[in-house]
Copies of this chain bind each other. A is one copy, B any other.
């Protein structure tokens, strides 16, 4: 027989909800996924309905806390959890927004995202991964790269998010490979040499990015560029330009790359080619560790 569920942790993003049920010691009793992300739900009560449905017959009898991070706390989400402002620690429960619920069995806390005023920037969800990283390694002092649709570079020191910068690299890759004129020549495979050459091209001359991108199409027509090389070159051009822009973040710094294998490998290869020392951090469980850190504070308060 499993331990009783003492609280829930939720990573509620734009496209997915990941829910964990945990006992008082922070051990996972069960976990579930749903595709009822923020993008599918109207602001407000629809979130409670989706959460109650996902818990189903496993709803605990007594009122239990639910600690939520991610887009559910945005203006278009369950309720708005206003941003903390850099420099700041990853915000905990003291900064969370309590959402009233129709039922009495859940006490919902939405963790805030983090904003930066100058230059303007925002994150929602990544701050909880960072909380998990700091919980694992409280002395971490360096830069974290979180590759994704909107790749983030985050300076961390003394358990605080000092500053950060977001690049639309992943979204540009998706749009260009699927919906632009380049889609005609993009394959499925990978060509490491083409990737590295492309990184080097835009690192050296980032201003030519929009011309180099069209060059993928031209090289297909004129020089028979293969689909795998085209896809790898597209990725490399975008990452190379990003590394040129993010140089103040990574040059001479301790760098940890969080997350997804494929794109994480690409960032690691690109940075290594520039002589940068890179650590890889397994992102699995990092968000949950961040939510556990928030739960610990709640326990101490109780």
Chain A residues near B (Cβ < 8 Å): 75, 83, 115-117, 119-122, 150, 165-169, 171-172, 175-176, 179-181, 205-211, 213-215, 217-219, 221-223, 238, 241-242, 244-247
CB distance from A84 to the nearest CB of B (A): 12
State whether A121 and B214 are in contact (beta carbons under 8 Å apart), knowing that A179-B175, A179-B179, A180-B171 are contacts in the complex: yes
Given contacts A120-B218, A122-B218, A181-B150, contact A245 B210 (CB under 8 A): yes
Known contacts A83-B222, A179-B175, A180-B168, A119 near B207 by CB under 8 Å: no
Contact B245 A207 (CB under 8 A): yes
How long is the Cα–Cα vector from A210 to B83 in the complex, in angstroms? 23
Count identical subunits in the complex. 2
Given known A175-B179, A180-B171, contact A120–B209 (CB-CB < 8 A):
no
Determine if B207 and A244 form an interchain contact, defined as CB atoms under 8 angstroms apart: yes
Taking A115-B221, A176-B175 as contacts, is the C-beta distance between A167 and B120 under 8 angstroms? Answer: no
Within the assembled complex, what's the spacing in Å between the Cα atoms of A28 and B229? 47
- The answer to whether A218 touches B121, judged by C-beta atoms less than 8 angstroms apart, is yes
A238 partner residues in chain B, CB cutoff 8 A: 210
B contact residues around A122 at 8 Å (CB) = 217-218, 221-222
Shortest CB-to-CB span from A182 to chain B, Å, is 8
